[in-house]
Every structure is written in structure tokens, then in C-alpha cells.
Structure 1
């Protein structure tokens, strides 16, 4: 693949080699979106990740050169390179990396024109604002407001902007005044190569508790199926449950058919006693 970079100046060639060396050193190679992260916070994030990952900012063309030279699924990362992307190198697995990056995110105020990743909901209730132009500003932003007890009150809970929609200037200004910070700040994983495969956020975004609940339900259903279908398995507890079920069914059959066997006679007598009492009560 050297055909892609043999013409590069020395400093660019060195940059490409650095990227390739990092790709060889770490199990994961991915791209993160760094849009909207202030420079100071970005440096702090890099320092916090230093023991587990390396974040490297490089020109898009050099990233593409590097991925082309690495070949395989690394080339697929080129389709995710953007104006605000940076490279990330880490060990572990992509699911843990995604989760760790999500947990480090904070929130910031929205800017006009930005797309919100989630519904922005303004709750009903009193505010700290005194009567004034703010009432009109709230209403222009689609938030029903009125004066109540000398303070501005939001009359009803309102979804101001739905997920995937752009935030206009009036909405951005009002949300900032209300102290609502809807925009996440942090590294967002765009794609990652791991053991020859490419992973995207829609696959990596796993709700651990929901996933565990599904596994638990599947195990319970498989256990019940094995017991009810009398399928012998090595699963702990299945054989015991099958024997216990067979004993119960045999005992019930003995009672219903009045079969005088040990452990059944007492139940037959008890059943006859209950029936006699029921007849006596008529």
C-alpha cells in the first residue's frame, strides 16, 4: 500500500508512521468526534485517558493515508473521518471503550443551529425570574409562561425541541437563561476497528441492565422448557426439578385414581375428608 504515501513530505511521512505504530501497539483503533469541546477540557480528557488510551489529532488526509496503508477494515474508518474527528487508540474491547467515553461526558449550553441528541423538556413550575421581558422570550421560544406571585412561572411542562431537531437562537438563549444544558461534551466514538471488524455506536450502545435482564429471562425460559418437556440437560437444577415435577404428577394421579400407595393414602383420606365436610355443609 506504499503507493499511497511514497510522495509525502518527510514530516507527513513521519506522522503516518506514528499513527501506524500506535495501531500496532493498541488493540483498538477508532475515531472520536471532538466537536464543541473547549481546548482546556479536551486536554484534560486526554490526560484522564492517558493510562488507558491515546487520543491523537491529525490531518484527515494523513489519517486516510495511514488507514490505507494498514489495510483491511482500517480502510473502512476513512468513511467516518470528519472535520471534527480525531484518532483514538486503546486496549480492552470496544464496548468498554464506548461506555467509558460516555461516562466521562458532561453537559453544556446549546448554540443556535445545533442538533439536539435528545428531547429538551422544560418542566412546569416557578422560576427565579422577576416579571419582565423574559415572559415574552419564553413564549417566543414555545414555553408557556405567566406571572405568579411576583415571579415568572412556567405553566406547563413543554418539549421545546425534539431529538434530531435544530435549536434556534431564541430557544438557545432561553435555555441558557433557565440553566438547561442539553448538549453533551466529551469524546463521542464514531467507529472503532477491533480484531478485524468495524464497530459502530449503534452496536456498542448497550444497556447493561436491559441486556442482563434478557439473558436472565432467556435462562429462565430455557430452564422451564427443559423441565416441562422432560429434556435431560447438564444445567444445574433441571434434573432435580424434573424429578420433583414427576413426583408431584405421580402423587396427584394416585390421589385422583385412588391408588393406595405409600405417601398417597394420607392425601386420599384428606381429600375424602374435605369432600365429606363439603357434603355435610349442604
Structure 2
């Protein structure tokens, strides 16, 4: 059989096979490594009550490793997983509202798993600041200063770089010394390759890495980053006001708790002393209050009399209104102290309050 005839027959048979059975589909096997990653991530999703997604774009490896160690020391797991594998883990773990999470998975991310509420985690992440090298193209937000002193740089072509940034130098002991402090960048300037190189050689890290959270997932709820910003002073003030109000109500009701009873007894004593003063009943404890009340009434009466008899103004003019009794002053002082106490709510108490509010 001629070769061209054989080729024609093969072509016709392939066309017939395609029409009868359709295109052949190869079986796609997922690599074992990816299967293991999905399994591990799904297990983390089941184990921890919440997770947060951090932006990894432009994050140096050194600073990321340092951040991971800080968080892991607090029992928080940080894992870098590709978005596609994380999607599979979400579905495998049966996470509620998973589709809403998947929509937000873009670019390179790190996933933080924790058994705390999202607001606690955000407060914790906000406290992390790690020094880092000057990235080329980054805008400067504050002055970058080169301090005076010895460097370990040998004299050579690098001396022209110092001159470019107007850094006064001297050569002593075979190395370059910076003679005087110099400002090499001001707010709004952009870090050039030359500046980045010089700062790196001098070991100066003028920038700080702060973890950037994209969103958090807590108990089925997706919380954007902007909603996680906590007004610490505002919440502290609200909590303090709530504590003060609750204590005042408890004191009025004389609830049998030490904090309320102490205040209730003090208020009862003040009211009893005032009532005794009104009735003119004198005891060693309320003598000052009774006399003060009597003087106050006498002064009020004298003021009324001067309206009818103007000549009395010369006599009454030198009379001063009595000062508040010491018990009243003490009460006002204690009320002020209570006002101060309600402002002194610590961040730890704030986090506990948020934990109670959000489960």
C-alpha cells in the first residue's frame, strides 16, 4: 500500500473516531504537595474561630519572618497559601459564606489564624513595627538623617556618593568618617537607587514595616479592614462611662457588692448629715455642717433684708458666704476621682470588652 493511501486512511479513521466518541480527555492528577496544603489549611480553618488576610505585596522576607515569629509566640498561626488552594480549603472545611471570601482573594496574601476576635487581632497587628531598608521609589514621610561617626567603608568611588548628598566626610584610620550630621531626604522626597544604596551600606533602616490587613473572617462574618479600625479613646471613654453609670445605679439600689456598698454608705452618710443639719440636730460628726447651714441661711436672710433696708449693705457687705462643708467637699472630690477612674480603662480591658461584645 502506498504511503499516501495509508495516510489518507488514518486521517479518515481519526475523523470517524472524533465524530463517534468525541475528544479524548486526559485525567488530571493534583500533585500530592498541593493536596497536603489544602488538607492542612482546611484543618486550620476548622481549628481556629477566625482568620485574617494580610497583604504580602512588597513585604521583605526578613520582616515577614520576624512578624511571623512575633505572632506565633502568641499562639497565632501565619501561613502563606496560593489563593486557588485556599479556595479549595474553604470549600473542603465547609466554611459558611465562603464565596464572599473567595471574591476578595486577589494578589499575594498571607493568612493569619487565631482564637481571638478580629478587633483584638487588629489591635495586636497595629503594634507591630519592624525597621526595614529604604525601598527604591518609596516616598519619604519624615526626615532621613545620617549621624556623625565612623563607618567601615574604605575610601574610593563611594566618596562621590557622599558628596552627592552633601555629607561632610573625613578619611581617618583608613576608613571614612562622617564629620557632621546630615539630612539626606525630606518628607515628600522619593528614594532613589543611589540613596537606597548609600543607606544600605551605612546600615540605616529609615522605614518601618507594618502588617497591612485586607479583611478578616470571624464566625461567618466578613469584616473589611476599614471596619476593624477601633477608636481606642472613644471606646475607652464609653466603657468608663458605662462603668461609672452602673456603679452609681448599684449604689442607689444598695446592691450587695463591695464597690457599690462603699459608695452607697458614703452617700447615705452625707444625706443623713444634711438632714440633721436641716433639722438643727447637732452631733460631733455634723457640727461643722450644721453651723455652715445656719450661716448660709443667715447670709441669705441678710441679703434679702438689704433689699428692704439699703443701710444694711454696709454691714452685710463684709459678710462672706460660708464655704462648703468638708463632707460636701469630700463628696465632690470623690466624684471627681470616680470621673478620673472611668477614664483609666486599659487597652487590655478594652480588648476584653470587645471580646464580650463580639463573642
State whether TM-score is above 0.5: yes
Q: What TM-score do you get using the length of structure 1 for normalisation?
A: 0.60
Is 1:160–2:187 an aligned residue pair?
yes
Superposed counterparts of 1:160-179, under 5 Å:
160-161=187-188, 167-169=191-193, 172=196, 176=200, 177=202, 179=204
Q: Are the counterparts in 2 of residues 57 and 87 from structure 1 also a CA contact under 8 Å?
A: yes
Asked if the contact 2:45/2:90 (under 8 Å) is kept, the reply is no
Change (3 A) 1:94 1:135: same
Distance in 2 between residues matched to 1:247 and 1:270, nearest whole Å: 19
Structure 1 equivalent of residue 113 of structure 2: 89
Alignment partner, residue 194 of structure 1:
218
Q: Which residue of 2 aligns with 1:134?
A: 162
In structure 2, what is the Cα distance between the partners aligned to 1:203 and 1:218?
23
CA contact (8 A) 2:63 2:132 kept: no
1:21 matched to 2:21: no
Q: Which residue does the alignment assign to 1:31?
A: 53
Question: How do 1:1-282 residues align onto structure 2 when only pairs under 5 Å count?
Answer: 9-11=29-31, 12=34, 15-34=37-56, 35-38=58-61, 42=65, 45=68, 49=72, 52-68=75-91, 70-103=94-127, 105-114=129-138, 119-122=141-144, 127-128=148-149, 134=162, 136-137=164-165, 151-154=179-182, 160-161=187-188, 167-169=191-193, 172=196, 176=200, 177=202, 179-184=204-209, 188-206=212-230, 211-220=235-244, 222=245, 236=260, 239-240=264-265, 243=268, 246=271, 254=278, 260-262=280-282, 263=286, 265-267=290-292, 279=318
Q: 1:26 Cα shift?
A: 1.9
Relative to structure 1, is the Cα distance of residues 49 and 224 closer, same or farther in structure 2, using a 3 angstrom cutoff?
closer
- How big is the shift at 1:233? 7.9
Q: Distance in 1 between matches of 2:150 and 2:123?
A: 38
How much is the aligned-residue C-alpha RMSD, in angstroms? 5.1
The whole-number CA distance in structure 2 between the counterparts of 1:121 and 1:214 is 38
| Cα drift, residue 108 of structure 1 | 0.5
**Count of aligned pairs between the two proteins:** 250
Q: Which residue of 1 aligns with 2:337?
A: none
Q: What's the CA shift for 1:215?
A: 2.4
Higher alpha-carbon deviation: 92-101 or 193-202: 92-101
Cα shift at 1:238: 5.9
Q: Which has the larger Rg?
A: 2
C-alpha displacement at 1:23, in angstroms? 0.9
2:53–2:109 Cα contact (<8 Å) kept:
yes
| In 1, Cα distance between equivalents of 2:124 and 2:130 | 13
Q: Sort the Cα spacing of 1:251 and 1:167 in 2 relative to 1 into closer, same or farther, 3 A.
A: farther
Which residue number in structure 2 is paired with residue 142 of structure 1? none
- C-alpha distance in structure 2 between counterparts of 1:40 and 1:178, whole Å: 15
Q: Unaligned 5+ residue runs, structure 1?
A: 1-6, 139-144
**TM-score normalised to structure 2 length:** 0.49
Q: Which has the higher strand share?
A: 1
* Structure 2, gaps ≥5 residues long: 1-26, 152-158, 170-177, 303-314, 320-359
Change (3 A) 1:135 1:65: same
Shift in Å, 1:152: 3.7
